[in-house]
């Protein structure tokens, strides 16, 4: 099948008519599927709107054309929908998971996450994936009958497990959680609402995860080129990109640098999407799942890159780590950003009265872990702009972050 054509609905995708439902019962919508309602709720959430002023790599005031968490999220959703359509999966659930995957990110990107993890190290640490779950299950407060967005089981499962199982069948943490265990925000939630952490997530969630990788690789190249951190020719050490550059030069020998970069990014996205589609079809042919349950219990990830594309993708990430994420200009700003987050956390811990009234601790003294987590929730919800404003309000000197 051509990747330009939509596939018929497949039996091993998630069916909104067979959803495991919501934690709090609600009457169904007359005209929207359960997964479409999930997607709409994410789009209308406060946390989603805040993504427009949260760092991807460059802090918001460094330039209007760099990606933010919001524009990154929209690009992930576009790629995820394209893949879901070709694979015959539920586009609404896929879009929900793409739009929700970064709701838990704090201000200043991974620098903010590192700082909050350090601040909360004695109270379970901080994990943006776990924070996304907290956002959609308790921190959003828009409905009279419950906290959170009351998303379907399938949406919550996908938010938590889109990168694979968190534990093995014996309950032992695996992968990135092997050393420190399952994050508190997830372990506490699944104690009363089982998300089956030992199984894989749906194909829709797996598509959202690989779309995140594709979007990261492509737009970080685009932003790095725009920032002048490297050139199109610098990327030529990666064989695939050298091949793409050669094709572009053959077609457009006098193309200016900005258009060369844009064409490279476009061709790279197309290549990776087509590769994931072909490789996923191959894996599905091997496993031949007949239901979404078969996908969850097959013991392997079914959506992913071929070995060749996976090698290229790893090369791109290594290049970006060296030339962009670890560039002194970026590192200097991120060090200052970490300081802002640490300062705010320490101030709110020592002076809780400096918190907004609706974030003040209850009159009865809670345990230290709960109070620290409340502060972590507050800071994680901040935009870059608000965090800087708060720091200026509370401290005599605030880093410029430029």
Question: Does residue 6 lie within any of the structural domains?
Answer: no
Give the integer Cα–Cα distance in Å for 382 and 50. 8
Average pLDDT over residues 27-55: 95
- pLDDT the model gives residue 361: 80
Dihedral of alpha carbons 61, 385, 131, 27, sign? negative
Q: At which of 328, 353, 373 does a domain end?
A: 328
Average pLDDT, the chain: 93
Question: Does residue 165 lie within any of the structural domains?
Answer: yes
Tally of structural domains, the chain? 3
Rounded alpha-carbon distances, angstroms, from residue 69 to 75, 125, 156, 277, 305: 10, 22, 20, 26, 24
40 with 167, same domain?
A: yes
Q: What is the CATH number of the domain that holds 63?
A: 1.10.3210.10
Helix (H), strand (E) at residue 243: helix 239-251
107 with 212, same domain?
A: no
214 with 68, same domain?
A: no
More confident residue, 235 or 1: 235
- Nearest in space to 96 (alpha carbons), one of 7, 201, 189: 201
Question: Does residue 341 lie within any of the structural domains?
Answer: yes
Average pLDDT over residues 88-99: 98
- pLDDT the model gives residue 365: 59
306 with 376, same domain?
A: no
23 with 94, same domain?
A: yes
Chain segment 354-373, per-residue pLDDT in tens: 999 989 887 655 677 899 99
Question: Does residue 5 lie within any of the structural domains?
Answer: no
Chain segment 123-132, per-residue pLDDT in tens: 999 999 999 9
Chain segment 212-236, per-residue pLDDT in tens: 999 999 999 999 998 899 999 999 9
Q: At which of 166, 190, 214 does a domain end?
A: 190
Question: Does residue 365 lie within any of the structural domains?
Answer: yes
40 pLDDT more than 70:
yes
Q: At which of 136, 155, 190 does a domain end?
A: 190
222 with 310, same domain?
A: yes
Rounded alpha-carbon distances, angstroms, from residue 35 to 49, 98, 196: 20, 13, 19
- Nearest in space to 99 (alpha carbons), one of 162, 142, 20: 162
Question: Does residue 198 lie within any of the structural domains?
Answer: no
What is the pTM for the complete model shown?
0.94
65 pLDDT more than 80:
no
- pLDDT the model gives residue 362: 76
Residue 246 exposed, middle or buried by CB count within 10 Å (0-12, 13-18, 19+):
exposed
144 with 49, same domain?
A: yes
Chain segment 257-297, per-residue pLDDT in tens: 999 999 999 999 999 999 999 999 999 999 999 999 999 99
Question: Does residue 258 lie within any of the structural domains?
Answer: yes
Give the integer Cα–Cα distance in Å for 142 and 259. 44
Chain segment 145-198, per-residue pLDDT in tens: 999 999 999 999 999 999 999 999 999 999 999 999 999 999 999 999 999 999
Give the integer Cα–Cα distance in Å for 156 and 152. 6
Question: Does residue 220 lie within any of the structural domains?
Answer: yes
305 pLDDT more than 70:
yes
φ, ψ dihedrals at 167, nearest 5° = -135, 165
Give the integer Cα–Cα distance in Å for 302 and 287. 9
353 with 377, same domain?
A: yes
Give the integer Cα–Cα distance in Å for 381 and 103. 9
Residue 62: band (very low, low, confident or very high) from pLDDT cuts 50, 70, 90:
low
394 pLDDT more than 60:
yes
306 with 213, same domain?
A: yes
φ, ψ dihedrals at 68, nearest 5° = -110, 175
125 with 20, same domain?
A: yes
3-class DSSP assignment, residue 293:
helix
216 with 314, same domain?
A: yes
Range of the domain at 363: 330-394
258 with 211, same domain?
A: yes
């Amino acid at each position: 099948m051509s990747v330009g054509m939509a596939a018929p609905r497949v039996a091993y995708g998630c069916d909104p008519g067979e959803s495991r439902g919501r934690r709090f019962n609600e009457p169904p919508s007359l005209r929207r599927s359960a997964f479409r309602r999930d997607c709409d709720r994410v789009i209308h959430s406060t946390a989603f709107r805040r993504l427009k002023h949260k760092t991807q790599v460059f802090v918001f005031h460094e330039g209007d054309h760099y990606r933010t968490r919001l524009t990154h999220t929209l690009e992930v959703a576009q790629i995820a929908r394209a893949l879901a359509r070709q694979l015959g999966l539920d586009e609404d659930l896929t879009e929900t998971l793409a739009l929700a995957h970064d709701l838990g990110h704090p201000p200043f990107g991974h620098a903010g996450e590192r700082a909050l993890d350090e601040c909360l190290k004695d109270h379970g640490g901080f994990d943006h994936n776990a924070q996304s779950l907290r956002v959609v299950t308790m921190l959003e407060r828009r409905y009279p009958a419950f906290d959170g967005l009351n998303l379907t089981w399938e949406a919550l499962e996908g938010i938590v497990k889109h990168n694979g199982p968190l534990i093995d069948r014996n309950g032992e943490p695996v992968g990135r959680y092997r050393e420190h265990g399952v994050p508190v925000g997830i372990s506490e939630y699944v104690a009363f609402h089982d998300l089956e952490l030992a199984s894989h997530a749906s194909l829709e969630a797996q598509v959202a995860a690989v779309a995140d990788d594709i979007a990261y690789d492509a737009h970080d190249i685009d932003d790095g080129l725009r920032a002048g951190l490297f050139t199109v020719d610098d990327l030529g050490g990666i064989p695939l990109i050298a091949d793409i550059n050669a094709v572009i030069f053959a077609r457009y020998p006098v193309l200016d640098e900005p258009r060369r970069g844009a064409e490279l990014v476009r061709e790279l996205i197309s290549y990776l999407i087509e590769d994931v589609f072909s490789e996923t079809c191959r894996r599905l042919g091997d496993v031949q799942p007949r239901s979404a349950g078969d996908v969850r219990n097959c013991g392997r990830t079914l959506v992913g890159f071929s070995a060749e594309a996976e090698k290229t993708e790893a090369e791109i990430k290594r290049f970006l780590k060296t030339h962009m994420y670890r560039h002194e200009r970026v590192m200097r700003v991120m060090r200052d950003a970490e300081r802002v987050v640490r300062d705010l956390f320490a101030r709110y811990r020592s002076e809780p009265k400096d918190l907004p009234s609706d974030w003040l601790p209850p009159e009865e003294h809670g345990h230290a872990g709960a109070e620290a987590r409340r502060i972590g929730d507050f800071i994680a919800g901040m935009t870059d702009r608000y965090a800087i404003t708060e720091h200026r309000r509370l401290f005599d000197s605030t880093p410029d972050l430029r």
